[in-house]
Amino acid sequence: MAKILEGPAMKLFNKWGIPVPNYVVIMDPDRLAQLGEANKWLRESKLVVKAHEAIGGRFKLGLVKIGLNLEEAIAASREMIGAKIGTSEVRQVIVAEQLEHDEEYYVSIIGNKDGAELLLSRKGGVNIEDNWDTVRRMQIPLDENPSIERLTELAVEAGFEGEIAERVGKISSRLVLCFDNEDAQSIEINPLVIRKSDMRFAALDAVMNVDWDARFRHADWDFKPVSEIGRPFTEAEQQIMDIDSRIKGSVKFVEVPGGEVALLTAGGGASVFYADAVVARGGTIANYAEYSGDPADWAVEALTETICRLPNIRHIIVGGAIANFTDVKATFSGIINGFRESKSKGYLEGVKIWVRRGGPNEAQGLAAIRLLQEEGFDIHVYDRSMPMTDIVDMAMKS
């Protein structure tokens, strides 16, 4: 699952003939002045300026400005670019034509196990949730694209009439093509607007998720997926992602500010159960982390050091199921080195470490990490006979 920003989504819409307003994405306000000289629409239309970042609630944060002329838009861009919101910084803005329109519609398409489902409503815009009963749906079976006639019928069922119904049908058909050909997982256009005077349609806002696993067959995907956690990635998260992209197997890391229990857990399935156990016992997690697929020891070491640096943590859970092929001895040697390095830098003061793991070379791996007790670590080591998440119970009771 990979969410993409509005700019790249608009570009894909353009490619598939879905009408979008004129727009530019800029990093430098001066560039906007120059673009204004080259593009009539920038000089003559009302403009919208939005921070082009994965930041939730942009409107409330003042990162969306509407009804601007070019000069005001340049000023708004200047104000937004470089603005710091929490840990993130606005680096780009998207400047789009603010289309004066008569009506707002809703159209979306979401993948499901048999293909995808198309949703259509005449009552789009901010209140779509309240008007959910107006939504009409159509299941689109895998590899079968419905005819424009069939889609026009759906538009009619949703209350569209005459030429507008036909146009909505046509736009829906192109959306299906875009969805199918771009390996999308979901596309939501809200609102799709119409200016009736010249029957001009435009997708004013778009949320699109593409299947990042399919990128090998999309040479023109020049974008990167954005953070889906309502904020941009932190530097530490970015670093672990960079390592993840370079190794066999994987290492993953997401920070959860304010938590007291850090997770250094193995396996996509087990790591979630560890997080659950912490929450179920009334604890707060400081992060989500996972390593799997027998990653290199240095990658696990880097993950370990990152976790040791989390502020105010009281416990570290080195947990995992009985691995099928991840070498416990090798991955633990990365963890041991990471702990030693962190301790030498002054981290891990008063932090309790809880270990439970099984798998290839488990005896050697557990024996090696147990030796950290002799180096002054507050570490508690258990083998497979300890139920997997019981180390969390013990940590929370200690």
Partner 1 sequence: MSILANKDTRAVIIGGVAGVNAAKRMAQFDYLINRPLTVQAFVYPPEAGQQKEIFRGGELKNVTVYSSLTPALAEHPEINTALIYVGASRAAQAAKEALESPNIKLVSMITEGVPEKDAKRLKKLAQQHGKMLNGPSSIGVMSAGECRLGVIGGEFKNLKLCNLYKPGSFGVLTKSGGLSNEAMWLCAQNGDGITSAVAIGGDSYPGTDFVTYLEMFENDPATKAVVLVGEVGGNLEEEAAEWLAAEPRRIKLIAAIGGTCQEVLPQGMKFGHAGAKEGKKGAGSARSKMNALREAGAYVPDTFGGLSKAIKQVYEELLASGAIKPESELDEALLPELPPSVQEVMRQGEVVVEPLIRTTISDDRGEEPRYAGYAASELCSKGYGIEDVISLLWSKQLPTREESEIIKRIIMISADHGPAVSGAFGAIIGACAGIDMPQAVSAGMTMIGPRFGGAVTNAGKYFKLGVKEYPNDIPGFLSWMKKNVGPVPGIGHRVKSLKNPDQRVKYLVSYVKNETSLHTPCLDYALEVEKITTAKKDNLILNVDGTMGCILMDLGFPEHSLNGFFVLARTIGMIGHWIDQNNQNARLIRLYDYLINYAVKPERPVPDKK
By the criterion CB under 8 A, which residues form the site for partner 1? 1, 111, 113-115, 142-143, 180, 183, 185, 211, 213-214, 216-217, 228-231, 250, 252, 254, 256, 266-273, 275-280, 284-285, 288, 290, 292-293, 320-326, 358-361, 384-385, 387-390, 392-393
- Cβ of residue 288: shortest distance to partner 1, in angstroms? 7
Tell me the three-class secondary structure of the chain, residue by residue. Answer: CEEECHHHHHHHHHHCCCCCCCEEEECCHHHHHHHHHHCHHHHHCCEEEEECCCCCCCCCCCCEEEEECHHHHHHHHHHHCCCEECCEECCCEEEEECCCCCEEEEEEEEEECCEEEEEEECCCCCCCCCCHHHCEEEEEECCCCCCHHHHHHHHHHCCCCHHHHHHHHHHHHHHHHHHHHCCEEEEEEEEEEEECCCCEEEECCEEEEECHHHHHHCCCCCCCCECCCCCCCCHHHHHHHHHHHHCCCEEEEEECCCCCEEECCECCCHHHHHHHHHHHCCCCECEEEEEECCCCHHHHHHHHHHHHCCCCCCEEEEEEEECCCCCHHHHHHHHHHHHHHHHHCCCCCCCEEEEEEECCCHHHHHHHHHHHHHHCCEEEEECCCCCCCHHHHHHHHC
Residue 45 beta carbon to partner 1: minimum distance, rounded to whole angstroms: 34
> Cα separations (Å) of 19 from 146, 148, 265, 390?
20, 16, 46, 56
> Which residue's CB is nearer to partner 1, number 3 or number 46?
3
Beta bridge partners of 392: none
User: Least distance from C-beta 17 to partner 1, angstroms?
Assistant: 21
Q: How far is the CB of 165 from partner 1 (least distance, A)?
A: 27
- Output 18 or 266, the one with its CB closest to partner 1: 266
Nearer to partner 1, 99 or 285 (CB): 285
The distance of closest approach from Cβ of residue 50 to partner 1 in the complex, given in angstroms and rounded to an integer, is 20
Contact assessment for residue 89 and residue 83, using Cβ atoms and an 8 Å cutoff: yes
Nearer to partner 1, 65 or 315 (CB): 315
Please report how close the Cβ of residue 3 comes to partner 1 at its closest, in angstroms.
8
Whichever of 17 and 268 has its CB closer to partner 1, that residue is 268
- Closest to partner 1 by CB, 36 vs 259, is 259
**Nearer to partner 1 (CB atom), residue 6 or residue 290:** 290
Between CA 289 and CA 276 the distance in angstroms is 13
Q: Which is closer to partner 1, CB of 166 or CB of 211?
A: 211
Cβ distance to partner 1 smaller for residue 160 or 288: 288
Tell me how far, at minimum, the Cβ of 325 lies from partner 1, in Å.
5
CA distance 280 to 274: 10
Q: How far is the CB of 219 from partner 1 (least distance, A)?
A: 13
Q: Least distance (Å) from partner 1 to the CB of residue 332?
A: 15
Calculate the alpha carbon distances from 244 to 108, 289, 293 in Å.
Answer: 33, 12, 11
Nearer to partner 1, 201 or 382 (CB): 382
Q: Give the nearest distance from C-beta 290 to partner 1 in angstroms.
A: 5
